[in-house]
Structure 1
Amino acid sequence: MRNNRLMHYAEGYPGGWQEILPNRAFFDGGRQEVGREVEGESAGVPWAYAVEEDGGSRVTLRCWVTLPFTPLTVEKTLSLAAGESVLRIDERVVNVGRDDVHFIWTHHPAFGSPLVSEGAEVLLPKGSRAFNVLRYERDREAPAASFEEPVEAVSLPSGRKKNLRMVERPVPNGEACYMPLKDLEEGLAGICQPALNVKLLLEWDHLTFPSLRYWSSNDNEWYTVALEPSTSWYSDIGDCMRHGNCISLAPQEERRFWLNVRVEQP
């Protein structure tokens, strides 16, 4: 049903994993836009679903929804096989409107303690370069390459440098970090926690989602690391369209995406 619109996916944010679709969008011939204040309606509307079991060897959850505002239909399949430590996610998005839809699509898995703690290592895709989008949005006329930074020394708003591969200890009044990554040579990221003898990995189609959005906070009350596969390293849909950094679907055109969550020993 398309009659209720979510205002924002993070209203009453509970942590966990949200699918932010759309993260931003532009459609109806430019007359409609999903901006910063109204993003992620897919995370706040009810989905239809069906559970299927294959003789005890595999369980599959099929979910589908038509978004109430943005003219997109989403189908998602999550499957888990007996004896495997991999959750497989396959998705299909279709433009069910009468005009082109331009949008950013992001998954938002946020991880906390005990997986996230001092001594854990954040695993980033090969080739990753940080794109300081906050600095970019203050000076869009500068060359885009001037906003790229090494993941081992990104610039935070406070002026402090941060190594994205390290998990910092929690402190009172800690600092948040938001830093999209680009130039990925693979879709593979995760968190390795030696204290638990656990490595959690995200594997995804990096040709469809060529960015990983990194978000962390080392505040005592908000201690988390989020690794967010995304279609874009820009935040504004206008920037995405200018730089060819978003998904654009014609009426009835579709886009597919896959993502796996794997747990193994280091």
Structure 2
Amino acid sequence: MRRNWAARLRLGTIDGLRAVTLENERLRVTVLPGKGGDVVEFLHKPTDTDLVWLSPQGLRDPRDHLQGASDDVARFTDHYEGGWQEVFPNGGAPSEYRGARLAQHGEVSGLPWECAVVADSPEEVAVRLSVRTRRLPYRVEKVFRLRSGTAALEIEGWATNESGLPLHAMWGQHIVYGLPFLRPGARIRLPEGVTVIPHESAINPEAGRRVRAGGPWQWPVVPADGGGETDLSVVPERGAPSDIVYLTGFDEGWYEISGDIGMRVEWDARLLPYLWMWQELGASTGHPWWGRVYTVGLEPFSSMPTDGLAAAVANGTALVLDPHETKVLRLRAEVLA
């Protein structure tokens, strides 16, 4: 029986793509099995605040092959609506792995996923999504679960190597925040002892240095005049430079980002030991942002840098899945109000 109270879910479509909405008294989460299992709504109902960022270009169906069909970057960017993507088995730039050409942010974010309801009661609702990659022999599954009375989404994911060979992969959660939630001065909290790795150091360990982080924490930046530093715990004003850094050294995987309300994300840091911090605050005036974007990504990842799987294999941070091995990932995202 359909409910309009307690925990409930709805199956339907948005702009022609299969969608499922999980909802309770405090939270409404919309997921697109028809497009990568993307989370395109994370609405805190008491304050009417959606925490994930949505792109000005809106939702686009990845089955539209008229744009970017042979472009390994455009496959992602032409159909990127913002929100929260599952990234697997390639993270960041296009890369080649054992003869397989992998596009920007891998395969699963652009594929349709199967979807099945696994719980539907006033106490909790849950759906299981699953997909097989096409260029590497992997199966990825995840369960989204929402319990009555909470403002927390629980996710359990599985990545399985379906071959008899050991294989590498990158696995990440491409979580990006924006208006109306994200505003200048928002604060980011991390566990004590986290280390900041500038992008140049991630590519070439001899090119930079690691810096201790932890309440308050800073990443020194040396601009042209040789002075100044940037405090990464505070979200800058619109127009600040675009950047990406990598954070590691998590004894426990968690962060909080907060303004009027907040979000706390928890994950297994043994499997995803890195947090990619990406900010695009309106300084990029060319493709694909055109100065219209004010967003910060805080993205738990297995590997670094954002140069693709081949680079992660080369620097030893790529995941290794043994023949027929399954790795299990648990995450929790909770609104703090």
TM range (shorter): 0.7 to 0.9
Q: Give the counterpart letter for 1:231 in structure 2.
A: S
Mark the CA change 1:77 to 1:247 in structure 2 (over 3 Å): closer, same or farther: same
Aligned position for 2:301: 230
Distance apart, 1:243 and its partner CA: 4.2
Equivalent residue of 2:89, what SS?
A: strand
Equivalent residue of 2:135, what SS?
A: coil
1:30-71 per-position Cα deviation (integer Å, ceiling 9, x unaligned): 33353xx44321111100001233431100011000111121
Structure 2 counterparts to residues 1-266 of structure 1, below 5 A: 7=72, 8-24=75-91, 30-32=98-100, 34=102, 37-137=103-203, 140=204, 142=206, 146-150=208-212, 151-155=217-221, 161-171=229-239, 174-193=240-259, 196=260, 198-219=261-282, 221-236=292-307, 237-265=309-337
Paired residues in the alignment total 249
Give the alignment's Cα RMSD to 1 decimal.
2.6
Mark the CA change 1:141 to 1:183 in structure 2 (over 3 Å): closer, same or farther: closer
1:166-207 per-position Cα deviation (integer Å, ceiling 9, x unaligned): 011113xx42110011111211112111xx3x1211000111
Distance apart, 1:242 and its partner CA: 4.4
Q: Percent sequence identity over matched residues?
A: 27
Contact kept in structure 2, 1:123 and 1:191, CA below 8 Å: yes
Q: Structure with the greater relative contact order (CA < 8 A, sep ≥ 6): 1 or 2?
A: 1
Q: Normalising to structure 2: TM-score of the pair?
A: 0.67
Q: Give the counterpart letter for 1:142 in structure 2.
A: E
Contact kept in structure 2, 1:78 and 1:88, CA below 8 Å: yes
Contact kept in structure 1, 2:166 and 2:322, CA below 8 Å: yes
Distance apart, 1:135 and its partner CA: 4.3
Q: Structure 1 stretch 71-80 or stretch 119-128: which is displaced more?
A: 119-128
* CA distance in 1 between partners of 2:281 and 2:85 (Å): 21
* CA distance in 2 between partners of 1:66 and 1:19 (Å): 13
Contact kept in structure 1, 2:196 and 2:219, CA below 8 Å: no
Contact kept in structure 2, 1:184 and 1:206, CA below 8 Å: yes
Distance apart, 1:136 and its partner CA: 4.4
Equivalent residue of 2:77, what SS?
A: coil
Contact kept in structure 2, 1:103 and 1:246, CA below 8 Å: yes
Q: Give the counterpart letter for 1:119 in structure 2.
A: G
Structure 1 unmatched runs, 5+: none
Q: Looking at secondary structure, tell me which structure has more strand per residue.
A: 1
* CA distance in 2 between partners of 1:68 and 1:43 (Å): 12
Structure 2 unmatched runs, 5+: 1-62, 64-68, 283-290
Q: Give the counterpart letter for 2:262 in structure 1.
A: K
* CA distance in 2 between partners of 1:87 and 1:104 (Å): 23
1:211-249 per-position Cα deviation (integer Å, ceiling 9, x unaligned): 100011221511011100001133443443344322111
Equivalent residue of 1:134, what SS?
A: helix
Q: Give the counterpart letter for 1:110 in structure 2.
A: V
* CA distance in 1 between partners of 2:330 and 2:96 (Å): 24
Contact kept in structure 2, 1:9 and 1:41, CA below 8 Å: no
Contact kept in structure 2, 1:133 and 1:147, CA below 8 Å: no
1:115-158 per-position Cα deviation (integer Å, ceiling 9, x unaligned): 21012101223321111123443xx3728xx4313451243787
Q: Normalising to structure 1: TM-score of the pair?
A: 0.83
* CA distance in 1 between partners of 2:275 and 2:120 (Å): 34
* CA distance in 2 between partners of 1:100 and 1:112 (Å): 39
* CA distance in 1 between partners of 2:281 and 2:275 (Å): 19
